[in-house]
């Protein structure tokens, strides 16, 4: 079982991100479960969603306390919400930001993770460029595929095409692909360096 | 067809495939996604032959389906929490008149204090309303049970409440074998009403009954609901025969064979508890799990049989009877009559507090060591409640009666 927790703010597609991730996993023949941390349906309020992915049926309905991966859609939550709480040793940390982990005060967290397990992506900027709205959730799913290898970019695209129609599917796919390629390059660079 | 869908949508599709003719509803979280989807399906033409009426309140919603059901239409509504309370007078009328309405309750806490999150306080408040109450453990079961509910309701002429945990199930996206029209048509025959308001053959339904017959009317309602103890498992067996999976029924046993301790629970915590039971069994602890699917009618004999051989049972309740403790616990106590089995009650998950594996395992550890008090509030913040009790009562006069945690 692989467990993901997504942190962001109302309006950033945090709940949709978990749903899309679960659909991508389902499309790849796996069992998946996505659900929100319920109730704070206010724009700008901190929102949490969860996704579990497994090869066997998922029975538990408790929130994810010890995530294998964290997706932070809004780094303004750092220091306000304990977003790193429970991250397993050797886990993955994906952040939507143009700043470095050091600038964000994540130097200690970065040092504790295996090399290449912490990745930053300018997801809001990629979404603005490709979709025309600064909603970072879809680019982050492309980045998640590249970072963890847990799901393929093709599965993410399949989920996007199921959710969106026509031009919106194409623009979101482009945003996911761009983020995917960025992380592939960043990871290759880190491995070479 | 297997789909990765939100629980609310899976239920809406199952309801639509049951070919309801009238849906009256008023939106309230966390039921909203169900009725929104049904409304959309009626408007788009995906659900034909159905009138969807967005009422002005829950009282009106239940009143509307009462009228529709009384003239012979297959009728459906859904609600939660304060919405269920607001329709209560009509809820009792539906059962009193023997109208086979199906209603989803997306279980949510009752205020005050206002709280939109999940517990079973809403449906439990209707324990004695004369409706059959079925509790779903998963979204697959929730979807399946709606189709079964129409069959049970119409065969008995008794309304059925399908209870599913609000948000925990309604808003969870999971793999569900979404029910298809042909299969549901083969399972669920068209509605043939036992009684009908028809101008060509006039009858009265729900007229006044005096002291000379009221007891008899109630007695017959009771006997009718006891018939459901046979009908519910039979319909579940028919469903299993056609669809190839177990959904519904009276009770659901998991690894209870030879178990010294049996946990009894309702709703979605069943899945989390299955993981807990597996972990405890792997550690050599002799525990099993019994899920109560049919809370009304309560399967006393089947429960009695299902816990035979156990030394103790632990009832986990997502609701609280203030001043008494557990609600399901009272029924379990009756079911245990004549046994030496000891019983503990655990109040858990009120107002959306997550019921975690960690807390459940810690609690079970105390239970098997016989260290669990008769009534326990899982994860109670004792610091807060102690401070408040001391503030209110400087003299510690409740020390002996307060529940220990």
| Residues contacting residue A176 through CB under 8 Å, at least 6 positions apart | A138, A139, A141, A142, A145, A153, A156, A157, A160
CA dist B106 to B8, B20, B186, B227, B270, Å?
9, 19, 28, 26, 17
Q: Which of B174, B246, B353, B378 to mutate to test the interface with A (most CBs of A within 10 A)?
A: B174
At residue A168, the 3 state secondary structure works out as helix
CATH number at residue B21: 3.40.50.970
Q: What integer pLDDT is reported at residue A193 of this predicted model?
A: 60
What residues contact residue B235 under an 8 Å CB cut-off, 6+ apart? B148, B151, B152, B155, B248
Evaluate whether residue B280 is within a structural domain: yes
Which residues lie below 8 Å from residue B90, measured CB to CB, with a gap of 6+? B59, B62, B63, B66
Residues B28 and B94 in one domain: yes
Same structural domain for residues B114 and B204? yes
Helix, strand or coil for residue B196? coil
Name the burial class of residue B216, with classes exposed (0-12), middle (13-18) and buried (19+) by CB atoms within 10 angstroms of its CB.
exposed
For residues A50-64, average pLDDT: 97
Q: Is residue B398 part of a domain?
A: no
> CA A91, CA A83: separation in Å to the nearest integer?
13
Residue B379 is part of a domain; what is its CATH number? 3.40.50.920
On whether any CB of chain A is under 8 Å from the CB of B30, the answer is yes
Q: Do A32 and B175 touch (CB under 8 A)?
A: yes
A31, A36, A61 member nearest B175 (Cβ): A31
**Average pLDDT for B159-172:** 98
pLDDT at B404: 54
Is some CB atom of chain A closer than 8 A to the CB atom of B245? no
Establish if B359 touches chain A: CB-CB under 8 angstroms: no
Write phi, then psi, for A18 (nearest 5 degrees).
-65, -40
Total domains, chain B: 2
- Check whether B394 has a pLDDT greater than 70: no
Mark whether B139 and B45 lie in a shared domain: yes
**Average of per-residue pLDDT across B333-352:** 98
Domain membership flag for residue B400: no
Residue B173 clears pLDDT 80, i.e. is over it: yes
Q: Strand ranges (DSSP E) for B248-369?
A: 251-254, 261-265, 287-292, 294-296, 312-317, 342-347
pLDDT of residue A38: 64
B272 touches chain A (CB under 8 A): yes
Are residues B171 and A39, on separate chains, in Cβ contact within 8 Å?
Answer: no
**CA distance readout (Å), B132 to B12, B95, B173, B285:** 20, 9, 27, 35
Q: Does A39 contact B at CB distance below 8 Å?
A: yes
Do B73 and B104 fall within a single domain? yes
Q: Are A138 and A127 in contact (CB under 8 A)?
A: yes
B86 and B196 part of one domain: yes
Among residues B216, B243, B270, the one where a domain terminates is B243
Could you write out the DSSP letters of every residue in A50-90? EEEEESS-----S--SS-SEEEES-GGGBTTB-TTTTPPTT
Q: Which fold has domain A2-191?
A: Pyruvate-ferredoxin Oxidoreductase; domain 3 (3.40.920)
Reading the block at residue A100, the tokens are 């470095």
Q: How far is CA B295 from its chain centroid? A: 7
- Is B168 in contact with A58 (Cβ distance < 8 A)? no
Residue B398 has a pLDDT of 59
Are both B258 and B239 inside the same structural domain? no
Mean pLDDT of B300-326: 97
Is there a domain that residue B405 lies in? no
In tens, the pLDDT along A60-108 reads: 999 999 999 999 999 999 999 899 999 999 999 999 999 999 999 999 9
Q: What is the mean pLDDT of residues B248-268?
A: 98
Please tell me the distance from the alpha carbon of residue B41 to that of residue B4, in angstroms, as a whole number.
Answer: 19
Q: In this prediction, what percent of chain B has a pLDDT beyond 90?
A: 95
**B113 Cβ under 8 Å from any chain A Cβ:** no
Q: Is residue B238 located within the same domain as residue B293?
A: no
3-class DSSP state for residue A5? Answer: strand
User: Looking at this predicted complex, what is its ipTM?
Assistant: 0.94
Interface check A14 vs B, CB under 8 A: no
Q: State the average pLDDT for chain A.
A: 94
A29 Cβ under 8 Å from any chain B Cβ: no
Nearest CA to B131 out of B183, B182, B205, B66 is that of B66
Report the C-alpha gap between B394 and B398 in whole angstroms.
Answer: 10
* pLDDT tens figures, B20-33: 999 999 999 999 99
3-state secondary structure of B149: helix
What tokens were used for B390?
């001391």
Distance between CA atoms of residues A179 and A192, nearest Å: 20
Answer yes or no: do B271 and A60 touch at CB < 8 A. yes
Per-residue pLDDT at B395 exceeds 80: no
Q: Tell me the residue ranges of DSSP E strands in B286-391.
A: 287-292, 294-296, 312-317, 342-347, 375-377
Cβ proximity of B316 and B270 under 8 Å:
no
H helices present in B20-179, as ranges: 32-44, 58-70, 81-86, 88-96, 121-124, 139-156
- The residue among A114, A159, A12 whose CA lies nearest residue A71 is A12
Residue at B401 is within a domain: no
Q: What is the pTM of this model?
A: 0.96
Mutate: best of B135, B139, B173, B360, partner A, most A CBs <10 A:
B173
Domain membership of residue B383 as a residue range: 251-392
Which of B215, B243, B271 is at the close of a domain? B243
How near does any CA of chain A get to the CA of B385, in Å?
25
Residue B402 has pLDDT above 70, yes or no: no
Q: Do residues B236 and B278 both lie within one domain?
A: no
Closest Cα of chain B to A15: distance in Å? Answer: 10
């Amino acid at each position: 079982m692989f467990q993901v927790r997504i942190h962001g703010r109302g309006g950033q597609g945090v709940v949709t991100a978990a749903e899309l991730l679960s659909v991508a996993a389902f499309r790849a023949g796996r069992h998946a479960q996505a659900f929100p941390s319920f109730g704070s349906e206010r724009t700008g309020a901190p929102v949490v969603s969860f996704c579990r992915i497994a090869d066997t049926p998922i029975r538990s309905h408790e929130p994810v306390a010890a995530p294998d991966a964290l997706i932070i859609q809004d780094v303004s939550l750092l220091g306000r919400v304990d977003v790193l709480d429970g991250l397993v040793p050797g886990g993955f940390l994906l952040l939507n930001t143009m700043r470095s982990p050091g600038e964000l005060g994540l130097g200690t967290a970065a040092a504790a993770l295996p090399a290449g397990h912490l990745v930053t992506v300018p997801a809001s900027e990629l979404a603005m460029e490709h979709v025309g709205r600064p909603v970072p959730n879809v680019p982050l799913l492309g980045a998640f595929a590249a970072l963890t290898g847990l799901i393929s970019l093709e599965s993410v695209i399949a989920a996007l095409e199921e959710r969106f129609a026509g031009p919106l599917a194409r623009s979101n796919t482009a945003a996911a692909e761009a983020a995917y390629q960025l992380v592939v390059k960043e990871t290759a660079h880190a491995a070479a360096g | 067809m297997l789909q990765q869908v939100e629980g609310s949508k899976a239920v809406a599709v199952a309801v639509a495939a049951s070919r309801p003719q009238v849906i009256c509803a008023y939106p309230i979280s966390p039921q909203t996604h169900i009725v929104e989807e049904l409304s959309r399906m009626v408007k788009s033409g995906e659900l034909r032959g159905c009138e969807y009426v967005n009422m002005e309140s829950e009282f009106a919603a239940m009143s509307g389906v009462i009228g529709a059901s009384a003239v012979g239409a297959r009728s459906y509504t859904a609600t939660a929490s304060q919405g269920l309370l607001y329709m209560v007078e009509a809820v009792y009328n539906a059962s009193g008149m023997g109208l086979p309405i199906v209603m989803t309750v997306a279980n949510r806490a009752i205020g005050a204090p206002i709280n939109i999150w999940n517990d079973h306080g809403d449906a439990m408040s209707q324990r004695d309303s004369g409706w059959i109450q079925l509790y779903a453990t998963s979204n697959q079961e929730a979807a399946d049970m709606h189709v079964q509910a129409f069959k049970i309701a119409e065969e008995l002429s008794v309304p059925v409440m399908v209870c599913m945990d609000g948000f925990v199930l309604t808003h969870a996206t999971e793999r569900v074998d979404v029910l298809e029209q042909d299969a549901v048509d083969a399972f669920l025959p068209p509605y043939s009403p036992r009684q009908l308001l028809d101008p060509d053959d006039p009858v009265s339904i729900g007229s006044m009954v005096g002291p000379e017959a009221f007891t008899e009317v109630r007695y017959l309602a009771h006997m009718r609901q006891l018939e459901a103890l046979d009908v519910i498992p039979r319909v579940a067996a028919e469903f299993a025969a056609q669809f190839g999976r177990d959904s519904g029924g009276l009770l659901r046993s998991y690894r209870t064979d030879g178990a010294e301790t049996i946990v009894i629970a309702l709703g979605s915590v069943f899945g989390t508890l299955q993981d807990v039971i597996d972990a405890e069994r792997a550690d050599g602890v002799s525990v099993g799990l019994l899920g109560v699917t049919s809370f009304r009618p309560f399967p006393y004999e089947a429960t009695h049989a299902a816990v035979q051989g156990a030394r103790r049972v632990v009832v986990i309740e997502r609701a609280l009877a203030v001043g008494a403790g557990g609600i399901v616990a009272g029924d379990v106590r009756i079911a245990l009559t004549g046994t030496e089995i000891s019983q503990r009650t655990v109040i858990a998950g009120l107002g959306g507090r997550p019921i975690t594996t960690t807390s459940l395992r810690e609690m079970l550890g105390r239970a098997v060591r016989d260290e669990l008090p008769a009534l326990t509030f899982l994860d109670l913040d004792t610091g807060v409640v102690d401070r408040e009790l001391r503030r209110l009562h400087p003299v510690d006069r409740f020390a002996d009666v307060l529940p220990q945690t």
